[in-house]
Structures are given as C-alpha cells and as structure tokens.
A and B are shown apart, each in its own frame.
Chain A
C-alpha cells in the first residue's frame, strides 16, 4: 500500500420490533407459521383495506429514542416508498421519509483496546417489513409467503462515524445489546430480526468522503467484519490502479467471502416517496413519552455505572460484563455473596475464553451461573484450590454436571490435613537429600522445586498456602 487509506463506514440496521401483532393490522407476527397463515386483507393489500397504526410499535420506537438520547419528533409522517417486487403486495412500503419518529441521537461504544467512541445516530424510523419469496421449489415460478409482510421494523441509520471494521462490529454489538435490554426486539439474527446494511468508502485522511458502496443484508457480526474487510481491499485496488469506485449496491457472499454487485437493482433506484394519504401524521404526546420513559429498564451504561459502584469493578470489567444483558445477568448470579472481582475474572477469563473457543454465545453457555458460583464457593471454603477449580470448570463446560458431584466423583477435594501434607513433604525431602542440603546452604531458588514436587505428589490437591508454610518449616528443621 503506497499511502494509508482511511475507511469510512455508516450502518443502516433493520430491527424487527417484537410486538404481538403487525404494525398496521392485527395479524400475528409469530415466526415459523404455515405460509400465509398470518395474513388479512390489510397486509395482503386487498382494495379498500386501510392501515391502523399499532401503538406498541410506536412505544418501542420511543423507548429506543430515549435510550440513545435522541430528539423525538412530536409529529412524524408516514410515506410510501414505491417499488415493485412480488413480496411487497401494495406496490409500496409504508415507511417514514422526511420526518422520522426518532431524530438525532448517539451510542457510546467500547472498543477492544478499552477506548470509548461516540457513534452518532442520524435517525430511526418506523416501517413495515416485506414478505418472503421462495425461489427454489417451483419450476419457473416463485412462491410468496406474506406472513412477514407488515411486521414492524425500526430502521436505525448511523452517521458515517466508524473508521474500521472493528468499530463497526463494536457499534453493531452495542446496538444489538441495547434493543434486547429494551426488549423491543428479540434480536435473532438467524431469523432476520436484526439485519445490517453497511455503507463503505475510502478516502485519504482529511479529504472529503469517497464514493461508497452499500453492502446489503449482513446477518451476523462476523459477516459484517468480513464484508467490510473485503470491501476495503476491493476499493483500494480500484483506487490505486487509478480507477473510480462505482456507487452501487453489493451483496456479501458468505461462502466465497466476497461482495458482489447487484446490477439488476441499479435502475430501479427511484422510490418516488410521498406522504401516505391512508395515515395521518403521528403525534406523540408528552404523556405517552413519559409513560415509556418510566417503564425503561436499567440500560447498559447505567448498569455499567452500578457495577463499578456496587461491585467495585474496574471500568473495563464493568463495560465488558454489561455489554450483553445475559452476560450481566450471569455475572450478577455468580457474584452473589462472592468476591466480586474474582467472579469478574472467572466470567471474563475462563468463561468468555471457553465460549469464544467453542464459538458459543452466553445464551447457549453450557455452564449454568449457579454452578460457577458454587465453584467460587468451593474455592473460598478451601475445598479446592484455584488450580483444581480450573480443571473442574473445564469438566463442567465439556460435560455439564454439578461442582460438588465432580469434586466427590473425582476425589478432587483439597488436602488441608497438615499431617498428610507433612508426610508428603518429608518423603520428598528424603528422596532429594542433595537439593535439601543445597537449599539449606542458601540456594533459595530450590524452594520452588520442592513446592512443585509436593503439588505433583498430591496431584495438585494440597492446599498451596499450607504447602508453602509447612515446606519452609520442614526444610529448616532437618
């Protein structure tokens, strides 16, 4: 690379709101029903059917706006976004265009290097989802399932504030955690409840933004990172060869690990937005906003502050542990009546390490929080040593079961009986007379050798503090 390029990234995230019913009709939003079982004249676009706005969708949008410190528009307008596709029965999507419900806000994001960065959010607006097209099963035809048509979406648009794939992933993770904390979406990325489009461009630092490409439908954090990584290299190659990046929509192919142009859609990019005459402007009364505000749960930043205060954790630990609600809940169970910092070390070290290695999220953690807590209890009451605890943790993670059962079944109870430890020590000193003599002659370093021998003889079960004390005593005595 001749000279550094700076990547500029903005994200558009579509969040399916977890209302019971659709945004403009009383059909169920439940996932996985028989095709078209959740449809009615409104979401099938029968002539004369009229939309009526779901107040839960409005309240969830308000909750999001409050959580990102946004200006809420007390008057917002629904608009028609016109395009033709078979899974969009009306021939337009009801969305918000000029005046969205949520205006400018921000999210403070923790980066892996421990620094925080503020990502500004341009807007968030309410709209309806489209149905699904199934292309495989029918020769020459596509099957259309409109169960999803009319499911409420909140589209969250960020400013182009991110400067690396790592920052984009950190922002998306924080946003994902936030919508789950707020209980406005199940955030299920496999089922498409949380989908991301990325706008990516390159520029020389300090220069105006370059031409961007929009990468569509990234449904995992890993795909987002890979797609941006690929896109940076692609645009860099074009620019360094003296070419120009074309403004276009691209699809990420997860199998090939590359983005590909969607040329077919280029010419259709004229949505002819206009206010939807079927819907009146949406007015937000103070009373509604305050009702939503009063019902807000403890949000990630507030919980982080509480972890610092209540558990005496360092800022970094508190930020990591509150990044996802499930992880924070897990930690609070483990830390109950335990050394809070030790609990944090175990959750952030052993547990997150093992999850990461196994490619699992905290939701599918094989070790229940109560068992990890019991493990810490057994360290504290000296039933086991820290070293043995790590072995037990590995067994718990791989095989499940309970801490106490594993300790008993495998005879892992710590040896705290002084006479047993002394017997072991004496035997080892007897077997190693030369080292014992050298130690007594001043070779202090050999102490570590004896500790190692005793721990080995006890299969790691001797209480380390007792070994240290008794060993010193016995070595001096003889």
Chain B
C-alpha cells in the first residue's frame, strides 16, 4: 500500500524508511477515519474553504510575457525550443 502510493507519487522510498512512513500514514488514516465518522448527511460538500466565487478573465491575449529563452532557462536540457526529457516510450 505504502509502496504503491510512493510509486503513484513518483517518490523513491528506501526500504529502511518504510516503517516510519507506515506509522505516519496510519496516523493520517486514523484522522480520516475520525472525520468519516462525523454525520454529514444533508451537508453540501465543500469544494473550497473560501466562500467566494471564481473570478473570470476576458479572452484577451497577454501583451507581454517573458521570452521563451527566459522561461526555459532553468530547464536541465533543452534544444530547438523543446524541453528534453529522458525518453518516454508510449
């Protein structure tokens, strides 16, 4: 279970850290279990803690932005305007 979550999150988890992670996650799960025990029938699920509405933006192009070179400056690998990453096989 812990290994699966680590894999889904792409976190490398050495075996010697597993027991600690298991006990921490168990504490979180027991908190969730406590919350699940609260009767919530008839209560609308809350999607966001702020009681505000989503502001909308007009569909207008931005006038200025950072250049592509600036935006890509921190990429470990780039060429021909593309980010390069280790080969992804479909």
Binding site for B on A (CB under 8 A): 19-21, 25-28, 34-37, 39-41, 44, 52-58, 77, 82, 84-86, 98-99, 133-135, 137-138, 140-146, 262, 264, 268, 270, 272, 275, 277, 279-283
Given A54-B56, A283-B54, A44:B87 Cβ within 8 A: no
Residues in B neighbouring A133, C-beta threshold 8 A: 88
Q: Is B33 an interface residue (CB 8 A)?
A: no
Do B57 and A142 touch across chains, with their CB atoms under 8 A apart? no
Q: Which residue of A lies closest to B50 (CB)?
A: A280
Binding site for A on B (CB under 8 A): 8, 10, 45, 47-48, 50, 52-62, 65-66, 68, 71-72, 77, 79-90
The 7 A-B residue pairs with the shortest CB-CB distance in the complex, in nearest-first order: A143-B82, A56-B59, A26-B62, A55-B56, A35-B81, A144-B83, A280-B54
Query: Chain B interface secondary structure, helix, strand, loop or mixed?
Result: loop
Given A36-B68, A85-B88, A143:B57 Cβ within 8 A: no
Do A26 and B57 touch across chains, with their CB atoms under 8 A apart? yes
- With most chain B CB atoms within 10 A of its CB, the pick from A28, A36, A56, A264 is A36
Do B58 and A55 touch across chains, with their CB atoms under 8 A apart? yes
Residues in A neighbouring B72, C-beta threshold 8 A: 36
Do B47 and A283 touch across chains, with their CB atoms under 8 A apart? no
A-B contact pairs, 15 of them (CB 8 A): A20-B60, A26-B57, A26-B62, A27-B62, A27-B65, A35-B81, A36-B71, A39-B71, A135-B87, A137-B80, A141-B85, A143-B84, A270-B8, A281-B47, A282-B54
Do B56 and A272 touch across chains, with their CB atoms under 8 A apart? no
Do B53 and A281 touch across chains, with their CB atoms under 8 A apart? yes
Instruction: Report how far A282 CA is from B55 CA in the complex, Å.
Output: 8
Instruction: Report how far A39 CA is from B84 CA in the complex, Å.
Output: 16
Query: Chain A interface secondary structure, helix, strand, loop or mixed?
Result: loop
Candidates B8, B47, B71, B79; contact of A275 at CB < 8 Å: B47
- Given pairs A53-B54, A282-B53, 9 additional interface contacts (CB within 8 A): A36-B68, A44-B71, A53-B55, A98-B45, A134-B82, A138-B84, A144-B85, A262-B90, A280-B53
Given A26-B60, A37-B68, A39-B71, A275:B85 Cβ within 8 A: no
Residues in B neighbouring A280, C-beta threshold 8 A: 47-48, 50, 52-55
Do A144 and B54 touch across chains, with their CB atoms under 8 A apart? no
Residues in A neighbouring B71, C-beta threshold 8 A: 36, 39-41, 44
* Interface Cβ pair total, 8 Å cutoff: 125
Q: Which residue of B lies closest to A30 (CB)?
A: B61
Instruction: Report how far A34 CA is from B77 CA in the complex, Å.
Output: 18
Residues in B neighbouring A134, C-beta threshold 8 A: 82
Residues in B neighbouring A145, C-beta threshold 8 A: 81-82
Instruction: Report how far A277 CA is from B54 CA in the complex, Å.
Output: 11
Instruction: Report how far A44 CA is from B70 CA in the complex, Å.
Output: 12
Q: Which residue of B lies closest to A99 (CB)?
A: B47
Instruction: Report how far A219 CA is from B11 CA in the complex, Å.
Output: 35
Residues in B neighbouring A143, C-beta threshold 8 A: 79-80, 82-84
Do B81 and A34 touch across chains, with their CB atoms under 8 A apart? yes
Residues in A neighbouring B54, C-beta threshold 8 A: 53, 279-283
Instruction: Report how far A58 CA is from B59 CA in the complex, Å.
Output: 10
CB of A77, distance to nearest CB on chain B (Å): 4
CB of A141, distance to nearest CB on chain B (Å): 4
Candidates A44, A272, A283; contact of B8 at CB < 8 Å: A272
Instruction: Report how far A37 CA is from B82 CA in the complex, Å.
Output: 10
Q: Which residue of A lies closest to B74 (CB)?
A: A46
Do A53 and B56 touch across chains, with their CB atoms under 8 A apart? yes
Instruction: Report how far A279 CA is from B65 CA in the complex, Å.
Output: 23
Residues in B neighbouring A25, C-beta threshold 8 A: 62
Candidates A44, A86, A264, A283; contact of B85 at CB < 8 Å: A86
Do B48 and A40 touch across chains, with their CB atoms under 8 A apart? no
Instruction: Report how far A258 CA is from B75 CA in the complex, Å.
Output: 39
Do B87 and A142 touch across chains, with their CB atoms under 8 A apart? yes
Q: Which residue of A lies closest to B59 (CB)?
A: A56
Residues in A neighbouring B62, C-beta threshold 8 A: 21, 25-27, 40
Instruction: Report how far A146 CA is from B48 CA in the complex, Å.
Output: 29
Do B66 and A41 touch across chains, with their CB atoms under 8 A apart? yes
Q: Which residue of A lies closest to B85 (CB)?
A: A86
Residues in B neighbouring A264, C-beta threshold 8 A: 89-90
